[in-house]
Structure 1
Amino acid sequence: MTDKVTLTPREAVVDAFHRCLQGIDNNDHALFESACLTNETMAIVAGSTTLDGWTAINEFFERLFALVTSHMTSNIRVQMEDGADTASLTAHALAHHIRPEDAFKAEDTSYTASSLYFLNLVRDGRDGLWKIKKWEIKAQWTTGDINILHG
């Protein structure tokens, strides 16, 4: 028998963030999608690049799902008002990206980014889950070949 776990509102916001990153790292499209506002109001901003709308975001992540990735986060902070249907989340992240065929090579063929993440989230009225509406990625430093991300 399993007990149903009820998350506090702040935990539920963080859960959306974890669903997103675990979906990416585990190549679990459904889990990733469950964390995203899958309409044309969602946006991801990384430096000078903006992906507007689910169509563009999904297309980019289809390429990312072909990679082996590992996202490690810390210093997660949630800001929200009691009873609100909107929240913001900030975190530090270290993300490793590598082509599957290079995953166990002795030489480093990866792309690594240390970033600050800024997310705006909304509670979805359809399923009650928190979803990412906007994700801003501010790279602090990188190493390796960024072309790994762009094919």
Structure 2
Amino acid sequence: MSSALSPREAVADALYRCILGIDSNDHALFESACLKDESMAVVAGSITIEGWTAINDFFQKLFSLVTTHATSNPRIELKDGADTAFMTCHAFSYHIRPDDAFLPEDTSYTASSLYSLDLVRHSEDGLWRTKKWVINTLWTTGDIKILHG
């Protein structure tokens, strides 16, 4: 863990690594933000995905798209010296097929969400990693088939 980051910044960095990894198609950066074991879970509405293998498979669809994720208003619950943390934030996510990225008409799928994350500090490298990511979608516009086929 970089000493340049405060403890709260280091927690938030897990989310930033995750979404920057997706948006820049950097699988290693995305994976560095995840607790890559069978205890990890992603909950998106009525869908619950459990275990790293299933989560990794699920996110491969995002890596085939052009995406932009923007987060704001992070709120982090972290006790001094703790190895667990909880974070919430607002998120806007834009998804578009690569062939449509520069069309004049809007062909995107956009979502506004509230994210809730349970995070743990990894014992080997000290990086914070997501154990559970709950995506509560508030509204959407566009073609959901872009994301869900």
The two structures share one fold, judged by TM-score above 0.5: yes
Segments of structure 2 that go 5 or more residues without pairing to the other structure are: none
> Aligned ranges for residues 64-79 of structure 1 at < 5 Å?
64-79=62-77
Q: In the alignment, does 2:21 pair up with 1:23?
A: yes
Residue type of the alignment partner of 2:44: A
Residue type of the alignment partner of 1:46: A
Match of 2:45 among 47, 51, 55: 47
Deviation for aligned residue 1:50: 0.8
Percent sequence identity over aligned pairs: 67
Q: 1:87: which partner in 2?
A: 85
Deviation for aligned residue 1:30: 0.2
Q: 1:142: which partner in 2?
A: 140
Alpha-carbon distance in structure 2 between the residues aligned to 1:95 and 1:143: 11
Residue type of the alignment partner of 1:28: D
Alpha-carbon distance in structure 1 between the residues aligned to 2:51 and 2:144: 23
TM-score after normalising by structure 2: 0.96
Alpha-carbon distance in structure 1 between the residues aligned to 2:78 and 2:61: 33
Segments of structure 1 that go 5 or more residues without pairing to the other structure are: none
Alpha-carbon distance in structure 2 between the residues aligned to 1:109 and 1:13: 34
Alpha-carbon distance in structure 2 between the residues aligned to 1:141 and 1:73: 15
1:53-72 Cα distance to aligned partner (Å, 9 max, x none): 11111001111100000001
Residue type of the alignment partner of 2:116: F
Match of 2:124 among 110, 123, 126: 126
1:72-124 Cα distance to aligned partner (Å, 9 max, x none): 11101110111000000100001000000010111111100000000000000
3-state secondary structure, aligned to 2:130: strand
State how many pairs are aligned. 148
Alpha-carbon distance in structure 1 between the residues aligned to 2:105 and 2:73: 31
3-state secondary structure, aligned to 1:128: coil
Deviation for aligned residue 1:6: 2.3
Q: 1:100: which partner in 2?
A: 98
Residue type of the alignment partner of 1:148: I
3-state secondary structure, aligned to 1:64: helix
Bigger drift between 141-150 and 32-41 goes to: 141-150
